Structure 1
Amino acid sequence: MDGTPAADDGQRAASITLEGIGKRYPDGTEAVRDLSLHVEAGELVVLIGPSGCGKSTVLRMINRLIEPTSGRILLGDSDVTRADPVRLRRRIGYVIQNVGLFPHQTVAANVATVPRLLGWASDRARSRVEELLELVGLDPGQFGRRYPHELSGGQRQRVGVARALAADPVVLLMDEPFSAVDPIVRTRLQEEFLRLQATVRKTIILVTHDLDEAVRLGDRIAVLSQGGRLEQYDTPGTLLGAPATGFVREFVGADRGVRRLVVTPVTREVLAPLPGEDVAALPTVALGGSAYDALAALLTSAGAPAVVVTEQGRPVGLLRREQVLALSDPTG
C-alpha cells in the first residue's frame, strides 16, 4: 500500500441509519428484531436497556463483527452491509469495556495500529499518535513508550479512545467504555470524554447499563427492551420528564426527577429579578449550569436564594429553591 490511506476520503462525521435491522441465530434466538434508528452526524447517542436486550449486538452489526440477518445499515448514504468488512472497520473506531490493548506493544504502537495497517508514512503516524495522546490527556513523552501493564485502568481506557480515533474515523462505537474503572475515575473520564467530543465532534453510539452515565453523556438516548425493541428515543430531558411507555417509566425509576435536574440548565426564564439591596453575601450559581448544581448550592444557603451570574460574573437574577424543585417535576 502507498502512504495515502483509502479511508482518508470523507473523514467528517457521518450519520448512521438503521433500517429494520434484525439478528436471528440458527437456534432461533432473536437478539434484535426490526430495529430502526437514525443518528445525526456529530451526535452522541446512547443505547441503554436491561441485560440481553441486544445493545452490544447492535454495535457489532454496525461494524460487521456480527452479520445482520435482515435490514440495512447506512453510514451516510452507503449501505455497510454491502461493504468490505475489513475496510469498513478501519473507518469505524471501536472502544470496548476492557480496552483490548496489545500487551506486547507500547502505548504509541497500540495507538498507531490502524494508521500502520492503512500504510501511513511513519512520520505521519508518529505525529498523529502524539496529537491524540495529548488530546486524551497523556503526555506522549511520558506514556508513549510504556506498556499497557504499566498503566492504570483509567489511563488504559484513554489509550483505547486514542487508538479508536487514530485514523480519524467517521463513526465511533463504544461498548461500556468506562465500566471497568472505579466510580471516581469513571466520573473523571466522562468529563474528559465530553470535552474531547466537543473538540472532535464524532458520530458516536455508546452502550451503557448506567442510566446516570446515559443522561450525562447522551445527546439522545435509545431505551431498548428484550429483542432490541425500541421503547423510546429522545433527549435525556424528555426521556426523564415524559417516559413514553410503562417499561421506560419503570426503567428510569422513581428518582427520575433528580436525574432530570442534571440535564436541565438554569435559564433566565426561571429567575426572579434582582433586589435593590446588596446580594454579595448570597451563594452564586452559573447561568446555563445544571439545576442539580444549583440545588446543591441552595441546600447550604439556609433558605436564602442564590444569585445567578454569567461567565463574566455579572448577576442576572435570583434563583430560589422552590423554582429548582419545580424543574425536577416530571410533569413540568
Structure 2
Amino acid sequence: MDATAINEPGRDRSAASITLEDVGKTYPDGTVAVGDFSLEVRAGELAVLIGPSGCGKSTILRMINRLIEPTHGRILIDGQNVLERNPVELRRHIGYVIQNVGLFPHQNIRTNVGTVPRMLGWDKAKIAARSDELLELVGLDPARYSKRYPHELSGGQRQRVGVARALAADPLVLLMDEPFSAVDPIARGRLQEEFLKLQATVRKTIVLVTHDIDEAVRLGDRIAVLGEGGTLRQYAPPAELLSRPASAAVADFVGADRGIRRLAVTPIRTALQAGATADGKPTVDAGGTLYDALAAMLAADVSEVVVVENGQAIGTVSRAGLFEEHSRESRPAA
C-alpha cells in the first residue's frame, strides 16, 4: 500500500478496510483495558463504537493509529499490519478528530488545516489550495475564515476546521473520538447533518467513538456495542441493533425507547401498501423513514399518509401498518 501516493491531492478519493484481530491492551499493573477484540470495518463504511464509560472505546481507537500500543493482536488497514509500520509515518496518513479539536491557537485556520501536508513536504501553493478546498467542503468560506484564528470561531466552526484538518492529506481512514460532544445540542445536530453530507461526498472509512446512542444510530452504518473490558456485545446496522438486540444487556443499553429510534432508520417502503391517490391526505416522500410517516400522521391527526415518488403517489402507509412493521421483530434475542 503506497500511502503517500494514495494521499496525494487531486487523485481519486479512496478508503480502506480496517480489521482488528484479537486485539488487546493490558497495562503493567494488570488492568485489562481491552480483551481479545475483533472487528471488521469495510472500506467507505462508518462504524460507531459505543458502550459504558471505561469499556475501552477510546483505547481501541488509539490503538488503530498506535497512540497506544496493543499488547497483542493484529490491526490491518487495507490488509497491511499497522504494527509493522513506523507509527509517526502511519499517523500522517490517518485522519484523527478529537473532542476538543486541538487546533494550534497561534496559527490561523488555513495554516491549521495544512498541518499534515506540511509534514509530508507539499509545496506552499498546493497546501493553500488544499486547505481552501477543504474549508469550502466543510461549509466555511475560505475568503472569510482562512486568516482567522481559532479563538475567533464558535465551537461548531472549530469542530469543522478539525474535520478539515483531518482530511487534508486525503487519508485512507478517519478516526473520531466523541467529535461533537463538546458543542451544544442544537449545534451538534447541525454538525451531524453536515457530517453525513460530507461523508456522502468523501466516502472515507470512519471509526467514531460516542457515548450517545442517538448519535450512533443517526451516523453509523454499523454500530459496535462494547461491554466492560472491551468485549464486543453486538455489531450490527442500526435498524438490526434496535429491532433485534443480541442480549438483554444490549437491549438495556440501547434503551426502552429503541422502537422509536428504529423508526428513524427504517425505510418507509417497508410498510408501503401499493395503490393510492392523494385525496387531500398528507404526503411523505418515498425516500423517507417510518418516523417521517408517523410524524406526518401525528401533525395532521390522521391514520394514513400517502407516499409519493417524483411527484406521483405510489402507495400509503397506515398507522396500523406502521406499528405492525415496528412490532414484528422488536424483542431482544433470548
- Give the TM-score, by structure 2 length: 0.94
AA paired with 2:115?
A: T
| Contact 2:303–2:318 under 8 Å retained in 1 | yes
AA paired with 1:41?
A: A
Quick check: 280-289 or 68-77, which moved more? Answer: 280-289
Question: In 2, Cα distance between the equivalents of 1:304 and 1:241?
Answer: 23
Question: In 2, Cα distance between the equivalents of 1:120 and 1:304?
Answer: 60
Distance 1:330-1:70 versus aligned 2 partners, 3 A rule? farther
AA paired with 2:295?
A: A
1:126 match: secondary structure = helix
2:268 match: secondary structure = coil
| Contact 2:271–2:317 under 8 Å retained in 1 | no
How far 1:230 moved relative to its partner?
0.3
Structure 1 residues without counterparts, runs of 5 or longer: 1-5
How far 1:328 moved relative to its partner?
2.7
Aligned position for 2:4: 8
Question: In 2, Cα distance between the equivalents of 1:85 and 1:48?
Answer: 26
How far 1:155 moved relative to its partner?
0.2
Counterpart of 1:224 (choices 223, 226, 230) is 226
Aligned position for 2:291: 292
How far 1:147 moved relative to its partner?
0.4
Question: In 2, Cα distance between the equivalents of 1:259 and 1:166?
Answer: 34
Quick check: 247-256 or 204-213, which moved more? Answer: 247-256
Aligned position for 2:302: 303
Question: In 2, Cα distance between the equivalents of 1:246 and 1:26?
Answer: 33
1:88 match: secondary structure = helix
Aligned position for 2:196: 194
Count of matched residue pairs:
323
| Contact 2:270–2:325 under 8 Å retained in 1 | no
Distance 1:330-1:126 versus aligned 2 partners, 3 A rule? farther
2:131 match: secondary structure = helix
Q: What's the C-alpha RMSD, in Å, of the aligned pairs?
A: 1.3
How far 1:305 moved relative to its partner?
1.6
Question: In 2, Cα distance between the equivalents of 1:317 and 1:135?
Answer: 37
Matched, 1:326 2:328: no
1:239 match: secondary structure = helix
Superposition pairs of residues 23-172 of structure 1, within 5 angstroms? 23-172=25-174
1:212 match: secondary structure = helix
Question: In 2, Cα distance between the equivalents of 1:106 and 1:280?
Answer: 57
Question: In 2, Cα distance between the equivalents of 1:32 and 1:178?
Answer: 24
AA paired with 1:319?
A: V
| Contact 2:92–2:116 under 8 Å retained in 1 | yes
Question: In 2, Cα distance between the equivalents of 1:24 and 1:330?
Answer: 42
How far 1:322 moved relative to its partner?
1.7
How far 1:10 moved relative to its partner?
2.8
Question: In 2, Cα distance between the equivalents of 1:119 and 1:246?
Answer: 52
Quick check: 110-119 or 312-321, which moved more? Answer: 312-321
Counterpart of 2:255 (choices 235, 253, 256) is 253
Quick check: 232-241 or 10-19, which moved more? Answer: 10-19
CA deviations over 1:32-81 (Å, ceiling 9, x no partner): 00000010010000000000000000010000000000101001111001
Aligned position for 1:283: 282
Question: In 2, Cα distance between the equivalents of 1:269 and 1:52?
Answer: 40
Quick check: 286-295 or 28-37, which moved more? Answer: 286-295
Matched, 1:273 2:275: yes
AA paired with 1:251?
A: F
AA paired with 2:233?
A: E
Question: In 1, Cα distance between the equivalents of 2:303 and 2:209?
Answer: 41
How far 1:307 moved relative to its partner?
1.1
AA paired with 2:150?
A: P
CA deviations over 1:238-260 (Å, ceiling 9, x no partner): 10011111210111111110010
| Contact 2:283–2:307 under 8 Å retained in 1 | yes
How far 1:313 moved relative to its partner?
1.4
2:110 match: secondary structure = helix
